[in-house]
Amino acid sequence: GVFAHLEMLEVQAHEAAVKQEEMERQAEKLARLKARVQELRLQRNELRAKVDLQQNQQLGKGGIVSHPAQFTSEAILERKIKSIKAMLQLFYLTGISGKLTKWGVCFCISTAYEGTYLDLYYLDLVIKSEVQIRCHSIPIFIPLEQLAKKYLQTDIRRFLSVLSDHLNAYVRRRYQADQLQEHFSDQIEGTLQRNSLCNLLVFTYNVSHKGKTFPFNARLLYGDLCCSLPTEVIVSCT
């Protein structure tokens, strides 16, 4: 009957959610591993540059290198260039790209869901004794100020990573709500209700059984703002 159909829907929804969550975990794990590889390569290049610099300085003292000061400047400049390139590549693997500006650096955070690219968000930072946010396109309901107070001055990588998690989770929730409204409009009664952050969805859908139609009310709550799957679901039948 109706309850059996509801149980079947719940089982299917649970299996789909578990599968999707596992896919997201695998994708995040792969991104972290790639980022770790780039970070280790960056450290390796820096160590090689330091060793080469030290060796050539020692050779210069022995009279073999004719211009040790010039070589030292070139080595330092080359090491800085390698570090910047590796840093940008590291951010790119996690969906974050950046470019230097006359004030500091401008980052671009890209968001996606299941291979579909969604929105781009920009964050322009001023690099001084204290890092400052010059301008940005982050939605007002994303806790940018709180994240900046917690991470910006001490760990920019962590700040960008957590901010990217918030943005990706938000656009994924919004995208899923749009897809639900678009592809199941014949079963959903009225308009799907959501708040600006899309962490609360409320809608009514109809289930037909033996010529009768039963309206169900669904309420989806996303308690974790860095997650694209609901943490609480309430379904009731009037």
Judged by DSSP in three states, 219 sits in strand
Query: CA angle, 194 as apex, 191 and 199 as ends, to 5°?
Result: 150
Q: Give, as one character, the DSSP assignment of residue 80.
A: H
Q: Are residues 202 and 147 part of one domain? A: no
Q: Are residues 197 and 154 part of one domain? A: no
**Overall number of domains in the chain:** 2
Across the chain, what does the average pLDDT equal?
A: 78
The whole-angstrom separation of Cα 211 and Cα 227 is 39
Higher pLDDT, 76 or 180: 180
DSSP H/E element including 113: strand 104-113
Confidence of residue 9 (pLDDT cuts 50, 70, 90): low
Return all residues near 199 (Cβ < 8 A) that are at least 6 apart.
173, 221, 222, 223, 225
The whole-angstrom separation of Cα 147 and Cα 95 is 18
Per the structure, the complete domain to which residue 147 belongs is given by 90-170
Q: Are residues 161 and 94 part of one domain? A: yes
The whole-angstrom separation of Cα 114 and Cα 127 is 35
Question: Does some domain include residue 212?
Answer: yes
Give yes or no for a contact between 225 and 166, defined as CB atoms under 8 angstroms apart. yes
The whole-angstrom separation of Cα 4 and Cα 36 is 47
Q: At 89, give phi and psi (nearest 5°).
A: -65, -40
Interaxial angle between packed helices 2-61 and 68-93, expressed in degrees from 0 to 180 and rounded to the nearest 10: 180
Give yes or no for a contact between 204 and 189, defined as CB atoms under 8 angstroms apart. yes
What pLDDT digit, counting tens, does each position of 172-188 carry?
A: 999 999 988 888 888 88
Q: Are residues 102 and 165 part of one domain? A: yes
Domain CATH code at residue 151: 3.30.457
What pLDDT digit, counting tens, does each position of 100-148 carry?
A: 888 888 999 989 888 788 899 999 988 877 889 999 999 999 999 999 9
End-to-end CA distance of the chain: 16
Question: Does some domain include residue 84?
Answer: no
Question: Does some domain include residue 181?
Answer: no
Question: Does some domain include residue 218?
Answer: yes
Q: Are residues 229 and 193 part of one domain? A: yes
The whole-angstrom separation of Cα 161 and Cα 94 is 8
Give yes or no for a contact between 189 and 133, defined as CB atoms under 8 angstroms apart. no
Q: 0.85 cut: is pTM over it?
A: no
Q: What percent of the chain is predicted at pLDDT more than 90?
A: 28
As beta bridge partners, residue 237 has 216
Q: Where are the alpha helices (DSSP H) in 67-137?
A: 68-93
Sign, Cα dihedral of 112, 178, 170, 108: positive
Return all residues near 88 (Cβ < 8 A) that are at least 6 apart.
97, 98, 99
In the predicted structure, residue 67 carries a pLDDT above the cut 50:
no
Question: Does some domain include residue 38?
Answer: no
Return all residues near 39 (Cβ < 8 A) that are at least 6 apart.
90
Average pLDDT rounded to a whole number, residues 202-209? 84
Question: Does some domain include residue 175?
Answer: no
Return the closest-CA partner of residue 87 out of 51, 46, 121.
Answer: 46
